[in-house]
């Protein structure tokens, strides 16, 4: 899950409105609206490779705060949220001109370990349940050094206008308050080249806020494990090959470690590449949209190091290790 999830995935933070009655910062409670899937990437991310670009996704999602229990290595208690609800995709047209629709449910769990104004690690679990188009991703980001998340960032991202706020850079985003506890957001998706400030937006969302609620405790995500693999296998892994179009990879190298979210697993195919940092972008997807929602963006600076893909009988993993041998990105595509 990429484009739709990128639009929604983040932590509760600075752009939320303040309640005048008690001066408390409100938190996101509901997200609803429509999104036109105007790019090939957005279609492929939802498992809609066989359909034409341009269907309409209608989302109705609830947001609840979380805190994790059982992290033995954390400097602070990880906190985050759970997003859940329905996504209905209509106006689907296949290669034969036939129309259709997809109904699915989306569940996102996100946790962040922070110290002062820095983020150390982030965990996510994204489950898109939509029949043959389903996908299930889990992952962890380890920021070395810790990522700075200053509270002043919002003011530099948006320009205030007579109608509300507009993004200064990147895909166009605008938002305006509909009262003390609601906000309307419109804008363009990355890669939606027909969308601009002067044209019809790719999405229109309504965000409802509420007073802070008690966070629900959940078990902390399990640690990843070093797994065995068949050294005689020359097969190239396939489960994570889509990431190769995002990362810039150099030559393959010998690697003796496969990583898995489950213990005692045996890899069936593994391959490691050196990362070409000069050609690999640092990721900060849809920063303006996140902050307009009241949710700051996730960003990741790709370090010098290696990218390792491993296939297992029922899942695939992708891991970035920096030059010091530290794990900085862990991704797993699980069986849906």
Same domain membership, residue 302 and residue 207: no
In this model, does residue 172 exceed pLDDT 80? no
Closest to 293 in 3D by CA, of 196, 185, 153: 185
Same domain membership, residue 133 and residue 158: yes
pLDDT tens readout for residues 48-82:
778 888 889 899 999 999 999 999 889 899 998 89
Q: What angle do CA 91, 183, 43 make, to 5 degrees?
A: 25
| Distance in angstroms (rounded) separating the CA atoms of residues 101 and 99 | 7
Cis preceding linkage at 9, omega within 30: no
What pTM was computed for the model?
0.82
- What pLDDT, on a 0 to 100 scale, did the predictor assign at position 46? 67
For tokens 């600076």, the residue is: 301
Strands annotated E in 149-223? 158-161, 164-167, 173-177, 182-187, 203-210, 216-219
Q: Are 225 and 249 within 8 A, CB to CB?
A: no
In this structure, the number of other CB atoms found within 10 A of the CB of residue 38 comes to: 23
Same domain membership, residue 263 and residue 326: yes
In this model, does residue 121 exceed pLDDT 50? yes
- What pLDDT, on a 0 to 100 scale, did the predictor assign at position 296? 47
Same domain membership, residue 232 and residue 197: no
- What pLDDT, on a 0 to 100 scale, did the predictor assign at position 279? 66
Give me the mean pLDDT over the 309-323 stretch. 91
Q: Of 166, 187, 219, which residue constitutes the final position of a domain?
A: 219
Give the rounded percent of residues in the chain with a pLDDT score beyond 90.
24
- Which H or E element spans position 332? strand 327-334
Same domain membership, residue 214 and residue 296: no
Same domain membership, residue 272 and residue 154: no
- What pLDDT, on a 0 to 100 scale, did the predictor assign at position 249? 86
In this model, does residue 97 exceed pLDDT 70? yes
The token pair that represents 147 in the structure block: 């990522």
Same domain membership, residue 204 and residue 281: no
Closest to 7 in 3D by CA, of 201, 336, 302, 298: 298
Same domain membership, residue 211 and residue 154: yes
Domain membership of residue 41 as a residue range = 3-219
In this model, does residue 122 exceed pLDDT 80? yes
Q: Of 219, 253, 269, which residue constitutes the final position of a domain?
A: 219
Same domain membership, residue 211 and residue 110: yes
Same domain membership, residue 306 and residue 190: no
Three-state SS at 7: helix
- What pLDDT, on a 0 to 100 scale, did the predictor assign at position 295? 52
Higher pLDDT, 152 or 173: 173
Q: What angle do CA 40, 308, 109 make, to 5 degrees?
A: 60
| Cα separations in angstroms, 286 against 3, 94, 109, 117 | 9, 29, 19, 21
Q: Of 204, 219, 234, which residue constitutes the final position of a domain?
A: 219
pLDDT tens readout for residues 192-247:
566 767 677 888 889 899 999 999 999 999 989 888 776 555 678 888 877 777 78
In this structure, the number of other CB atoms found within 10 A of the CB of residue 33 comes to: 17
pLDDT tens readout for residues 250-283:
888 887 678 889 888 888 889 999 988 776 655 5
Assign 15 a pLDDT band (cuts: 50, 70, 90). Answer: very low
Assign 32 a pLDDT band (cuts: 50, 70, 90). Answer: very high
Higher pLDDT, 283 or 167: 167
Same domain membership, residue 238 and residue 203: no
Domain total of the chain = 2
Lowest mean pLDDT among 5-14, 118-127, 186-195, 244-253: 5-14
Same domain membership, residue 255 and residue 212: no
């Amino acid at each position: 899950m990429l484009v739709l999830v990128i639009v929604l995935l983040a932590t509760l933070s600075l752009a939320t409105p303040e309640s005048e009655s008690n001066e408390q910062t409100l938190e996101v409670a509901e997200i609803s609206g429509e999104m036109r899937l105007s790019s090939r990437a957005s279609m492929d991310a939802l498992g809609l490779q066989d359909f034409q670009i341009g269907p309409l996704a209608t989302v109705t999602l609830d947001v609840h705060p979380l805190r994790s229990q059982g992290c033995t290595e954390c400097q602070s208690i990880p906190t985050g949220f759970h997003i859940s609800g329905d996504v209905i995709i209509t106006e689907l047209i296949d290669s034969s001109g036939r129309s259709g629709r997809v109904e699915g449910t989306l569940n996102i769990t996100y946790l962040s370990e922070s110290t002062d104004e820095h983020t150390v690690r982030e965990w996510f679990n994204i489950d898109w349940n939509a029949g043959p188009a389903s996908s299930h991703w889990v992952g962890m980001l380890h920021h070395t050094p810790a990522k700075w998340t200053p509270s002043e960032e919002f003011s530099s991202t948006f320009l205030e206008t007579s109608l509300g706020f507009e993004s200064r850079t990147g895909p166009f985003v605008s938002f305006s308050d509909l009262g003390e506890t609601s906000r309307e957001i419109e804008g363009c998706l990355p890669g939606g080249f027909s969308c601009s400030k002067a044209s019809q937006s790719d999405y229109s969302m309504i965000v409802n806020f509420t007073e802070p609620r008690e966070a629900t405790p959940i078990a902390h995500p399990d640690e990843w494990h070093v797994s065995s693999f068949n050294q005689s296998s020359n097969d190239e892994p396939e489960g994570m090959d889509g990431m190769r179009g995002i990362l810039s990879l150099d030559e393959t190298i010998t690697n003796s470690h496969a990583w898995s979210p489950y213990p005692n697993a045996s890899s069936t195919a593994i391959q490691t590449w050196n990362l070409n940092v000069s050609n690999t972008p640092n990721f900060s997807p849809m920063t303006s949209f996140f902050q307009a929602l009241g949710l700051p963006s996730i960003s990741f600076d790709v370090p010098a190091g290696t990218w390792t893909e491993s296939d297992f009988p029922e899942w695939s993993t992708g891991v970035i290790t920096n030059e010091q041998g530290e794990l900085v990105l862990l991704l797993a595509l699980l069986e849906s």
